[in-house]
Structure 1
Amino acid sequence: MSDNELGVFLRTRREAVTPAQVGLPAGSRRRTSGLRRSEVAMLAGVSVEYLTRLEQGRDRRPSPQVLSALADALRMTATERIHAYRLTKGADGSFTCMGDVTPGRVVRPGVRALLDRLDPAPAVLLNRLSEVVAHTAGFERLAGPIGLLDGTPANLAWFVFTDSRARIAYPDWHQVADEQVAALKQGPFGSDAHSAMLADQLTVAAGSEFTRRVETLPGLPRANGVLRLVHPEAGELRLAYETLDLPADDDQRLVVYLPADATTSDALDGLHRRRQPVLRVVSG
């Protein structure tokens, strides 16, 4: 994990905001679509030198007032503001919410019942290491044929970065890889024994495809979107997904997939008719 997570996050937000979004002219000599440091500094009421120190990691603890001003200037959403605040509090790495506890691998009865009710919709329960803890039969019909569930335990991030079948299954592989790293960095990635081991294994197995993303991507994955998946039996599918974070004690997140178009809906119905739906709990 990068030792300058706040700086990475502020820089990526600055590069993502257009001048038009903050009421500034684009200008004819602008090299990128994002904001210049001088523009963000002006909008936030801080010096360019101080913003530079924050982005470079030479200052990692801005006051709440300064952080709020930067959040306003960078048009951060509520989720992004919370994420930025968390990064300032975790700057010294001396405290993590999860400590060194084992990643959530036990499925509560209520969550099992929820998965059962969700079937035949594809849904998967992941822990902070992206291990597949439980899933519906609908998810197995999607993930089994592409090889995602072959590992023991199955791990979504490991599959994406180390299995050649992933690049066939995900036409937008680079985007999927970005999201996997961002999801891993939501937790104390690399700061406890369990995540440090996974980080080391992915570094060795995937090399720069993984390490480059760890160093440059902010830990803020999208909670929803559309995933393209090439299925060996059903062809290319477009799946709208929603990610629901369970309470911190569970240390898990639930991802539910729905058809994003009529063609995908018909394909999922066809897969459902071929197999008997059964809820499977992988571990716990």
Structure 2
Amino acid sequence: MNRQELALFLRSRRERITPAEVGLPAGTRRRTPGLRREEVSRLAFISIEYYTRLEQARAPHPSPEVLAGLARALRLSDAERDHLHHLAGRPPAPPAGPPREVRQSILDLIERLPQAAAHVTSASYEVIAWNDLAAALMEDFSALPRRDRNLVRLAFLGPHPDGRVLYGVSDVEEFTRSSARRLRATAARYPDDPEVAALVGDLLAGSQRFRDLWESHDVDDERTLIKTFQHPLVGPVTVNCDVLDIADRDQRLVIHTAVPGSPSAEALRLLSVLGTQRMAVSATER
């Protein structure tokens, strides 16, 4: 525990927050910038005596519960929260399962890509964010329960009511190999996550191909740079596939774009107009 650095860090974080930011009145006789010590202690649900000792570098090791309260009261970012834990001599524990919360900046980014079908997947291949064109090209994920938004489950287990496996992508064989390998690595990173364990169990029980791939124990990744979707309304759509790792969240941003001026670019433009409503109508007509 680095008591001196911890004390300085807490004071610097306390002084940068205004009372209004945490719903407190500013008052007229406030002589300190930011929050008072007693205000932080109240927000963190700890005693003023103990918090004062922390800022005076005289306190013993804070518990994980105290650190969580301080991080909440001081509105720390993820990086600041991790730094707080390290200063307190309690390195942050890794998350029990793949993070599912997508940063707002990533959500804003995919919405600013109107000519690209973009989505974000967790480490277990759950689609956790998408833009309108991705929903039109693949399917309306908002209409599905979480369980059915998982691409690796869809690839190996279906259902495939219209006969298209994984939206009719041309690289489905490569995807199944790559996803099985990455899922094995994910299971090793999150050994205590019940959702990852249940997903692997379902795949082992329901797919001989997955069992064969799983038993190979391979963890190398494969990435396809170009793939073709067989879309039920606009036909084949060939796209470049770029995958960007969001390392701090263990997530991936997948961006599908067509060559400008190509028939596939025109197909994407048409899908951006049709959206998912026309797809739902077409499905009921078949």
Runs of 4+ in 1 over 4 A off after TM superposition: 97-100
**Cα RMSD (Å):** 2.9
Tell me the equivalent position of 2:268. 268
Matches within 5 A, 1:29-44: none
Q: Does the CA contact (< 8 Å) of 2:127 and 2:151 recur in 1?
A: yes
Deviations 1:226-277 (A, max 9, x none): 12211111111212111111123x1211111111571211111111122399
The residue matched to 1:270 in structure 2 has which SS? helix
Tell me the equivalent position of 2:17. none
Deviations 1:38-92 (A, max 9, x none): xxxxxxxxxxxxxxxxxxxxxxxxxxxxxxxxxxxxxxxxxxxxxxxxxxxxxxx
Q: Structure 1, unaligned stretches of length 5 or more?
A: 1-96, 278-284
Tell me the equivalent position of 1:101. 96
**CA distance, structure 2, for counterparts of residue 227 and residue 161 of structure 1:** 18
**CA distance, structure 2, for counterparts of residue 204 and residue 251 of structure 1:** 26
The residue matched to 2:254 in structure 1 has which SS? strand
Q: Does the CA contact (< 8 Å) of 2:135 and 2:276 recur in 1?
A: no
The alpha-carbon deviation at position 172 of structure 1 amounts to: 3.8
Q: How many percent of aligned residue pairs carry the same amino acid?
A: 21
Query: CA 1:107–1:275 in structure 2 vs 1: closer, same or farther (change >3 Å)?
Result: same
Residue 220 (1) aligns with residue 220 (2): yes
Query: CA 1:275–1:197 in structure 2 vs 1: closer, same or farther (change >3 Å)?
Result: closer
The residue matched to 1:191 in structure 2 has which SS? coil
TM-score by length of 1: 0.55
Paired residue type of 1:254: L
**CA distance, structure 2, for counterparts of residue 228 and residue 149 of structure 1:** 24
Tell me the equivalent position of 2:203. 202
Query: CA 1:259–1:177 in structure 2 vs 1: closer, same or farther (change >3 Å)?
Result: same
Paired residue type of 2:197: A
Residue 159 (1) aligns with residue 158 (2): no
**CA distance, structure 2, for counterparts of residue 217 and residue 230 of structure 1:** 31
**CA distance, structure 2, for counterparts of residue 109 and residue 186 of structure 1:** 27
Query: CA 1:268–1:200 in structure 2 vs 1: closer, same or farther (change >3 Å)?
Result: same
- Structure 1 residue aligned with 2:108, among 104, 110, 113? 113
The residue matched to 1:130 in structure 2 has which SS? coil
Question: Which protein is richer in helix relative to its size?
Answer: 2
Q: How many residues align?
A: 178
The residue matched to 2:247 in structure 1 has which SS? coil
Query: CA 1:169–1:197 in structure 2 vs 1: closer, same or farther (change >3 Å)?
Result: same
**CA distance, structure 1, for counterparts of residue 205 and residue 250 of structure 2:** 26
Deviations 1:88-108 (A, max 9, x none): xxxxxxxxx985523211121
The alpha-carbon deviation at position 223 of structure 1 amounts to: 4.1
Tell me the equivalent position of 1:144. 139
Paired residue type of 1:239: V
**CA distance, structure 2, for counterparts of residue 182 and residue 159 of structure 1:** 16
The alpha-carbon deviation at position 176 of structure 1 amounts to: 2.2
Tell me the equivalent position of 1:37. none
The alpha-carbon deviation at position 180 of structure 1 amounts to: 1.9
Residue 231 (1) aligns with residue 231 (2): yes
Query: CA 1:175–1:151 in structure 2 vs 1: closer, same or farther (change >3 Å)?
Result: farther
Matches within 5 A, 1:1-284: 99=94, 101-144=96-139, 150-153=144-147, 154-165=149-160, 166-167=164-165, 169-189=168-188, 191-193=191-193, 194-206=195-207, 208-216=208-216, 218-248=218-248, 250-260=249-259, 262-275=262-275
Query: CA 1:237–1:98 in structure 2 vs 1: closer, same or farther (change >3 Å)?
Result: farther
TM-score by length of 2: 0.55
Q: Does the CA contact (< 8 Å) of 2:181 and 2:217 recur in 1?
A: yes
Q: Does the CA contact (< 8 Å) of 1:100 and 1:192 recur in 2?
A: no
**CA distance, structure 1, for counterparts of residue 247 and residue 96 of structure 2:** 15
The alpha-carbon deviation at position 135 of structure 1 amounts to: 0.4
Q: Does the CA contact (< 8 Å) of 2:126 and 2:151 recur in 1?
A: yes
